[in-house]
């Protein structure tokens, strides 16, 4: 009945399914374990009418013209330049640490001299990873790096990852730079914003195609059987010979036989307040002593006008696979990457079986990069 099966309906699965159906004219079955589409980008109105992101804030940003144009078929946009502040010693300072933060911390006169030194060293607009900044020989640049490291980066990173920054893959630490700019926006991309009506309606439109069937609340492991003896895939006991795109945790696909891949998970504590504003910002990072890493206030994220406000605190912890836990961030290091490769190799015995996404590939993707890869993969399956 189907030419392709896509497991997962987040940005990876939804984009791939749409391309397979629309451009390749393939009938696609989408299996989603959650009780809704959209993966971790899923948003909904809470009991108070506030549009919230159930799995933490997701902000779209890209320089990729093709991806932006393609997604714009399914949504209009609320233009939103995401700005983040960190609470340090009772004061809110812009992050990533930039030239405005520099002035706030060091004062006008000293900051002017330091700004020139940073600009001369790295160039205007540069985004310098904090660990690279700490390697500089100039004592004043080192002092800036030490301030950022101790007050903004170190404790936050240890809370978020349960590790010291030096133990974390550079691909992760590089996402938290010091920015040689007066732009307070968290991202520097040309296009920044939120789907105007929310992510969920965007995904609904993406999956609304006569050749796409979506089944929610279905664990693919309960309807699919991967026979390692024969190299065949069975759907409801019948051999399936079409394309399969899997976006879930690859270790769990094989019962974690080599051991569980380490991930960081998150607990979200939502709170509604009958006040017009709680923190004046979409996101405030708590970098020092609190157990939580940040507070998101959704109305500042989406531009929604409401009398009350809903916030969420995020508490990171190690993913164990227990009921209700969700793996969010792969802990990439040589040992874990080697373990991942063992699981990825198991999928190679199955014809036309493809791993796609943060969980399936055990790496971090922004929304735009994930959409681009999903589109490219689906188009490459034209003749399979």
What global pTM score does this model have? 0.92
Mean pLDDT, rounded, for 158-175:
76
Q: How confident is the model at residue 175 (pLDDT cuts 50, 70, 90)?
A: low
Beta bridge partners of 264: 318, 329
Give the model's pLDDT for residue 215.
98
State how far the Cα of 2 lies from the Cα of 239, in Å rounded to an integer. Answer: 12
Q: pLDDT, tens digit, for every residue of 35-94?
A: 999 999 999 999 999 999 999 999 999 999 999 999 999 999 999 999 999 998 888 999
- Encoding tokens for residue 300? 């500042």
For 44, 51, 289, the CA distances from 201, given in Å and listed in that order, are: 10, 12, 38
Q: How confident is the model at residue 188 (pLDDT cuts 50, 70, 90)?
A: confident
DSSP assigned state of 307: S
Give the pairing of strands 4-7 and 243-246. Answer: parallel
Domain regions of the chain by residue span: 4-80+194-258+331-380, 91-179
**Range name among 43-47, 163-167, 229-233 with the lowest pLDDT average:** 163-167
Our CA dihedral for 313, 316, 320, 324, rounded to 10 degrees, sits at: 10
State how far the Cα of 192 lies from the Cα of 94, in Å rounded to an integer. Answer: 18
Q: pLDDT, tens digit, for every residue of 234-243?
A: 999 999 999 9
Task: Look at the chain and count its residues.
Answer: 384
Q: Is it the case that residue 173 has pLDDT exceeding 70?
A: no
Q: Is it the case that residue 166 has pLDDT exceeding 80?
A: no
Instruction: Report the chain's terminal Cα–Cα distance, integer Å.
Output: 16
Q: What homologous superfamily does CATH list for 4-80+194-258+331-380? A: NAD(P)-binding Rossmann-like Domain (3.40.50.720)
- Residue 243's region, left for phi above 0, alpha for psi from -120 to 50, else beta, is beta
State how far the Cα of 268 lies from the Cα of 287, in Å rounded to an integer. Answer: 17
State how far the Cα of 214 lies from the Cα of 266, in Å rounded to an integer. Answer: 27
Beta bridge partners of 313: 269, 295
**pLDDT > 70 in the chain, percent:** 98
Q: Which is more confident, 131 or 118?
A: 118
Q: Return the HEC string of 247-285.
A: CCCHHHHCCCCCCCCCEEEEEEEEEEECCCCCCCCCEEE
| CA angle (280, 283, 314) in 5-degree steps | 130
- Encoding tokens for residue 216? 């929610």
């Amino acid at each position: 009945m189907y030419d392709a099966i896509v497991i997962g309906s987040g940005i990876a699965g939804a984009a791939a399914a749409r391309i397979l159906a629309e451009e390749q004219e393939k009938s696609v079955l989408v299996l989603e374990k959650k009780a809704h589409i959209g993966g971790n980008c899923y948003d909904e109105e809470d009991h108070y009418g506030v549009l919230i992101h159930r799995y933490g804030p997701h902000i779209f940003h890209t320089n990729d013209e093709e991806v932006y144009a393609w997604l714009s078929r399914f949504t209009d946009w609320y233009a939103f330049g995401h700005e983040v502040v960190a609470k340090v010693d009772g004061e809110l300072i812009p992050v990533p640490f930039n030239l405005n933060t520099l002035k706030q911390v060091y004062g006008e006169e000293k900051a002017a001299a330091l700004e020139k030194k940073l600009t001369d060293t790295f160039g205007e607009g540069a985004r310098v990873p904090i660990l690279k900044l700490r390697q500089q020989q100039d004592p004043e640049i080192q002092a800036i790096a030490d301030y950022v490291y101790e007050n903004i980066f170190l404790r936050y990173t240890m809370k978020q990852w349960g590790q010291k920054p030096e133990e974390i893959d550079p691909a992760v630490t590089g996402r938290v730079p010091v920015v040689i700019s007066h732009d307070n926006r968290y991202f520097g991309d040309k296009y920044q914003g939120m789907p105007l009506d929310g992510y969920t309606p965007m995904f609904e439109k993406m999956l609304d195609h006569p050749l796409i069937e979506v089944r929610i609340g279905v664990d693919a492991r309960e309807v699919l059987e991967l026979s390692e003896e024969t190299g065949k895939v069975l759907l409801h006991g019948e051999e399936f010979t079409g394309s399969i795109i899997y976006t879930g945790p690859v270790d769990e696909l094989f019962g974690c036989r080599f051991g569980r891949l380490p991930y960081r998970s998150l607990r979200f504590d939502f709170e509604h307040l009958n006040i017009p504003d709680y923190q004046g910002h979409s996101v405030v990072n708590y970098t020092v002593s609190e157990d939580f890493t940040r507070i998101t206030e959704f109305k500042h994220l989406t531009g929604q006008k409401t009398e009350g406000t809903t916030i969420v605190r995020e508490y990171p912890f190690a993913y164990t696979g227990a009921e209700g836990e969700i793996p969010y961030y792969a802990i990439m290091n040589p040992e874990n990457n080697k373990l991942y490769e063992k699981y990825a190799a198991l999928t190679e015995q199955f014809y036309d079986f493809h791993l796609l996404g943060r969980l399936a590939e055990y790496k971090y993707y922004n929304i735009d990069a994930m959409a681009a890869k999903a589109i490219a993969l689906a188009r490459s399956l034209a003749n399979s």
